[in-house]
Amino acid sequence: MSSARERYEAATRHLHPPFAVLDLAAFHANAADLARRAAGTPIRVVSKSIRCRHLLREALALPGFSGLMAFTLPEALWLARDGVCDDILVAYPTADTNAIAELAAHPDTARGITLMVDDVAHLDLITAAAPDPAHPIKVCIDIDTSWQPLGPRSRIGALRSPVRTPAQAAALARAITRDPRLHLDGIMAYEAQIAGVGDNPPGRPGYGRLLRWVQRHSQTELARRRAAIVNAVRDVADLRFVNGGGTGSLHTTRRERAITELAAGSGFYQPTLFDHYRGFSGRPAALFALPVVRRPAPGAVTVLGGGYPASGTADPTRLPSPHLPAGLSLSPTEGAGEVQTPLLGASAASLSIGDRVWLRHAKAGELCERFAELHLIDGDRLVATVPTYRGEGQTFL
């Protein structure tokens, strides 16, 4: 079997970089491993981490996956209308009154969409669109999963929902069930501080130990609280689902009895931020090729483009990484540039102007905001070219 680089080069010889590819074998191996770690608990596919309709359909057709987790309501409407999925949870609250009005006006579409709420103000925005009580809008309560060992000032975890206690969740559930224009569909509690933070940071063993200690305690605290919240809300209304976890925590979140389903997206593409977990290792599936356009000095080549940092804290882990050929790194003084990126290392000597360097993004779906197409590679063949959201003119965020 030839090397990954040889296969990618053979499959894309006729293309001119920059372009992005998806290695189908890696995508499917990653999907199978996500499903293995979920051990039978269904996984909702996180669309923000895929951002390509073709691949969303492909993921949904695989065993172990069911339902979509979308990132905006206009996106959910677009996907529902297209028939990509009839069970779409919009994972973040919306204040888009036009989109809410559209949802309320189309009960057939609305049947397949659930909105996220964590505040009575969200309920007011939804009911202001006057949904027909015969077709109530489905909503899901988002729960704060942060660990606060010394009270609210010691928050470890993302600032998302203000709903934290069983009493707060039950109060919001009662506000929902009191209004016939709303239907309480589920609970979501995503533990970003566990699922989205690699517990084995390279070269930082002490920090890794601390992280694992924090994650263990956070997990124990959350498991108890999540169960108590679910019990309190189930006293108010039936729930179709309780969603939790992400790529990094499927194998631990699924053990909680309160959880009925998981969510994952990044693990399909396996971007670099997911390389350093003890519990799993994926195969890089999404890559982009950039052309070598200069050889500025011995031990350096310059590729065109590459400045695609990932969202979040603006630190070097958010930058793209040269992947193939091995042995290249970003320049510490230049990083990844807007129009050109110098790459340093021994392999630079083997590269000529016109050659390609294959890079990986730090995050998953954001890559698709840079490229209109993904070229799908099977072995050493390019088997299809499919549009990303951007390629379809759909830039939701």
Ligand X SMILES: Cc1ncc(COP(=O)(O)O)c(C=O)c1O
Binding site for ligand X (CB under 6 A): 46, 49, 69, 91, 190, 195-196, 246-247, 263-267, 364
Q: Residues 209-238, buried b or exposed e (16+ Cβ, 10 A)?
A: eebeebbeebbebbbebbbebbebbeebee
Query: Residue 56 or residue 344: which is nearer to ligand X going by CB?
Result: 56
In the bound state, the residue with its beta carbon closest to ligand X is: 246
CB of 152 to ligand X, least distance (A): 21
CB of 360 to ligand X, least distance (A): 15
Residues 6+ away with beta carbon under 8 Å from 47: 56, 68, 69, 70, 71, 75, 79, 265, 365
CB of 246 to ligand X, least distance (A): 3
Angle at 122 between CA 313 and CA 392, to 5 degrees: 60
Q: What are the two backbone dihedrals, phi and then psi, of residue 336, each rounded to the nearest 5 degrees?
A: -105, 120
User: What is the residue type of 155?
Assistant: R
Extract the tokens encoding 349. Answer: 């000597």
CB of 325 to ligand X, least distance (A): 28
Query: Residue 187 or residue 290: which is nearer to ligand X going by CB?
Result: 187
CB of 190 to ligand X, least distance (A): 4
CB of 95 to ligand X, least distance (A): 17
Query: Residue 89 or residue 214: which is nearer to ligand X going by CB?
Result: 89
User: What is the residue type of 194?
Assistant: I
DSSP string computed for 230-291: HHHHHTTS--SEEEE--GGGHHHHTT-TT--EEEE-HHHH--GGGS--SS--PPP-EEEEEE
Say if residues 62 and 35 touch (Cβ distance below 8 Å): yes
CB of 48 to ligand X, least distance (A): 7
Query: Residue 51 or residue 356: which is nearer to ligand X going by CB?
Result: 51
Query: Residue 356 or residue 363: which is nearer to ligand X going by CB?
Result: 363
Query: Residue 5 or residue 283: which is nearer to ligand X going by CB?
Result: 283
Strand partners, 156: 147
Query: Residue 17 or residue 157: which is nearer to ligand X going by CB?
Result: 157
Cα separation, 394 vs 397, whole angstroms: 9
Angle at 230 between CA 62 and CA 172, to 5 degrees: 110
